[in-house]
Amino acid sequence: MTIGIILGSGLAHWPLAGGTELAVETPYGAASSALLRSMIGGCEVLAIARHGRTHTIAPHAVNYRANLWALYASGVRTCIGVNVVGAIAPGFAPGELAVPDQLIDYTWGRAATFTADGAPVTHVEFAEPFAPELRGHLAVAAADCGFTARRGVYGVTQGPRLETAAEIDLLARDGCAMVGMTAMPEAVLARELGMAYAICAGAVNRAAGRGPDGVSILADVDRYMALTMARIATVLETVVPRLARAAV
């Protein structure tokens, strides 16, 4: 069983050394990066850099279709998205992890389906946007590693700018516990391909208007990025072997 990992903004803090790069052509153009074939806990994983290896691709410009297709064509049927988010819910603090169970899509203009360009339309069930069993594995692994993994709604905004305080108030009224920029259309494309997909996210800042006065959001990001990435890496080192065993 080959597990896919989609790495986001914390790529610079991720231990990617020692893998083998695999370039994959797709019908949807170039993926954000070559796939990196490596091992976690003795199990093969294929990782892709969502924003490119040097973080040059903005959230709205990511070729999500090519990224998911490249993973699928290389044998990935279980995929974990690694995301950083801003914390909205009360008590949700930077440095904590989250395994979201719902999302609200506030993005626009992104290629959000494989059934475009004259292909037959395919409707997919999306009431549960993240695979429940995979979410459960991630949450249990986080707890076993000593981390709290919050559930909740992931609000997906367009980016690359951060949100206004009024926009975060709107997201909070809509029920969002966290805000990020890349869960969609990644989640629905994985669903169209029949891939089990869930997110392990790390809060790297309090969303606009949710932090103490005078504290810069970007300063929080710099402060908490390495910490959250290290925690997510620890969770993946625990969960990947479990997923491999469960598939046997």
Are the C-beta atoms of 200 and 138 separated by less than 8 Å? yes
Quickly name the fold that domain 3-112+125-247 has. Rossmann fold (3.40.50)
Task: Give the confidence band of 219 by pLDDT, cuts at 50, 70, 90.
Answer: confident
Of 85, 117, 94, nearest to 183 by C-alpha is 85
160: preceding bond cis by omega (within 30 degrees): yes
Higher pLDDT, 88 or 22: 88
CA–CA separation, 117 vs 133, rounded Å? Answer: 33
CA–CA separation, 146 vs 137, rounded Å? Answer: 14
Task: Give the confidence band of 248 by pLDDT, cuts at 50, 70, 90.
Answer: very low
Domain borders along the chain are 3-112+125-247
Give the contacts of 121 (CB within 8 A, at least 6 positions apart).
Answer: 115
Task: Give the confidence band of 60 by pLDDT, cuts at 50, 70, 90.
Answer: very high
Exposure of 241 by Cβ count < 10 A (0-12 exposed, 13-18 middle, 19+ buried)?
middle
For residue 16, the model assigns a pLDDT of 54
Beta strands 153-156 and 102-105 are: parallel
Q: Which amino acid is it at 189?
A: L
Higher pLDDT, 32 or 222: 32
For residue 122, the model assigns a pLDDT of 84
Of 184, 200, 211, nearest to 135 by C-alpha is 200
How open is the CA angle 157-163-164, to the nearest 5 degrees?
140
Helix (H, G, I), strand (E, B), or coil: what is residue 49? Answer: strand
185: preceding bond cis by omega (within 30 degrees): yes
Report the chain's mean pLDDT, rounded to a whole number.
91
For the chain, report the end-to-end CA distance as a whole number of angstroms. 8
